[in-house]
Amino acid sequence: MNIGGTLIAGPAKGPLQGNITVPGDKSMSHRSIMLGALAEGLTKIEGFLPGDDNFATATMFEAMGAKVTWLNDEKTALTVEGVGLFGLQEPENVLDAGNSGTAARLITGILAGQDFHSVMVGDASLHSRPMARVADPVRSMGAKVDGREGGNKMPLSIRGGKLKGINFVSPVASAQVKSCVLLAGLFADGETTVTEPKATRDHTERMLPLFGQAVERVDALTSRLKPCGKLTAPKDVVQIPADPSSATFFAVAASLVEGSDVVLNSIGINPRRDGWRRVMADMQADLTLEAENTVGAEPVADIRVKSTTLQGMKVNPQDIPDAIDEFPVLFVAAALSAGTFILDEAEELRVKESDRIATMVAALLACGADIEEKEDGAIIHGKPTLKGGVTVNAHGDHRIAMAMAVAAQKMDVEIRIENASAIATSFPSFVDLAQNIGMNVRWEET
């Protein structure tokens, strides 16, 4: 499919309607490859997200000796022939994490436990993102990590080896940091505990037991891993549920466009990913759960969304990690609501694929929104519509591009969204699926 760099998005021509199945969860797709590569035996995976971020993870593990076999053209089904916990080989070349913070940070934990040297690079966005948050704890476990700014910026050079377990109290609420330390803990002498300031997504803790490695939940903020010395490929297929972070774009679009009625099929509703639904419920969105079920170790449900007038709200800081990737499109919901939306304590948004506070404020202001930037969030006064006829910049950030495509559905005329090709990192089929439910969005012909 043709992924160009500029999206043209315009007012919806009518209500959004239909059933939509979004691709597999990005976080879990990464983890399925990582654990599959470290396991003994053949791991079968279905529902994998065929996004560039996840391909980067697959390629890095192939470079270290794991064998990935794609089972369909869409690259949603695959097997990973693992090398066992101590079977990775020193990569001959640099490892490239591309745009993916999750790949870079989780793999740092794995590389920390390897008796070899590796260098990991990424794209310009990833090279600007903080890495001390993972370099520091794995150093205290015994790995040698260096990089620009004393190891805070990639490229990172990692000489792993014998690790010792630690009790790590994380200064940031980050599942990437927690997962990095827990994965390093697989290779350590003794147990490793991680305590976080706020609970974050727990896919690592849920997926490791499928591979025979228990993770004890000490309390809501602390997990403990006693390494059992090996991972074993699950007998059952590892099923990846649909990504709630991708579903949220359509949930917001359907809420905003009058007369819409859209069903999002079998979406992950893990409470640690479900913050977007709590925020939207507070905004009085019309969301109904249907057909609740379980996929692998994760709860899922169909989510029916009907349009309504959204109201204002103040985001509970406890909910921020549970909706951390959804704020770009939640800002759009707020900008088109009938109330005032207040977000603070969300400074983490500044170190995502772009500075998501600055990039969303700039894009929404250009479209006439009433939005005030705060150091750690924003105050947004909603309006019934926004103005189009402008070019906005997604700054190479997939979620900014998709969020602005949603905003455009409620404009008077279309907008151009430049630097949007990064949509391929997490949601390559976004434009096709959006068109299927009636959204007005297309790639600009080059």
Residues that bind ligand S3P (CB under 6 A): 27, 102, 174-176, 179, 200-201, 324-325, 348
Residue with tokens 């070349």, as numbered in its chain = 93
Hey, is 108 helix, strand or coil?
A: helix
| Residue whose CB is less far from ligand S3P, 130 or 389 | 130
Q: In the numeric block, which tokens belong to residue 338?
A: 């009938």
DSSP letters of 287-356?
Answer: EEEEEEEEETTEEEEEEEEE------EE--GGGTGGGTTTHHHHHHHHHTSSSEEEE-S-GGGGGSSS-H
The residues near 363 (Cβ < 8 Å, ≥ 6 apart) are: 392, 393, 394, 400, 403, 404, 407
Shortest distance (Å) from residue 389 CB to ligand S3P: 32
Query: How far is Cα 351 from Cα 341, in angstroms, rounded to an integer?
Result: 22
| Residue whose CB is less far from ligand S3P, 174 or 246 | 174
Q: In the numeric block, which tokens belong to residue 78?
A: 């695959």
What residues pair up with 216 in beta bridges, in sequence order? 224
Q: Phi/psi at 164 (nearest 5 deg)? A: -115, 145
Query: How far is Cα 387 from Cα 410, in angstroms, rounded to an integer?
Result: 8
DSSP letters of 150-165?
Answer: HHTEEEEEEE---EE-
Q: Phi/psi at 228 (nearest 5 deg)? A: -95, 0
For helices 26-38 and 101-111, what crossing angle results, to 10°?
20
Query: How far is Cα 232 from Cα 234, in angstroms, rounded to an integer?
Result: 6
| Residue whose CB is less far from ligand S3P, 33 or 175 | 175
Q: Which of 325, 376, 412, 432 is catalytic?
A: 325
Shortest distance (Å) from residue 12 CB to ligand S3P: 28
Shortest distance (Å) from residue 146 CB to ligand S3P: 21
| Residue whose CB is less far from ligand S3P, 31 or 410 | 31
| Residue whose CB is less far from ligand S3P, 32 or 200 | 200
The residues near 107 (Cβ < 8 Å, ≥ 6 apart) are: 34, 57, 60, 95, 97, 120
Shortest distance (Å) from residue 173 CB to ligand S3P: 7
Shortest distance (Å) from residue 27 CB to ligand S3P: 3
| Residue whose CB is less far from ligand S3P, 100 or 409 | 100
| Residue whose CB is less far from ligand S3P, 350 or 374 | 350
Q: In the numeric block, which tokens belong to residue 336?
A: 């088109």
| Residue whose CB is less far from ligand S3P, 201 or 304 | 201
Query: How far is Cα 142 from Cα 91, in angstroms, rounded to an integer?
Result: 20
CA distance readout (Å), 84 to 27, 67, 125, 200? 22, 12, 32, 28
Shortest distance (Å) from residue 106 CB to ligand S3P: 7
Q: In the numeric block, which tokens belong to residue 62?
A: 């192939």
Shortest distance (Å) from residue 176 CB to ligand S3P: 4
Shortest distance (Å) from residue 397 CB to ligand S3P: 11
Cis peptide leading into residue 155 (ω within 30°): yes
| Residue whose CB is less far from ligand S3P, 201 or 224 | 201
Q: Is 325 labeled as catalytic in the residue annotation?
A: yes
Query: How far is Cα 28 from Cα 30, in angstroms, rounded to an integer?
Result: 5
Shortest distance (Å) from residue 105 CB to ligand S3P: 7
Note whether 149 and 189 are within 8 A (CB). Answer: no
Any idea which residues carry the catalytic annotation?
A: 325
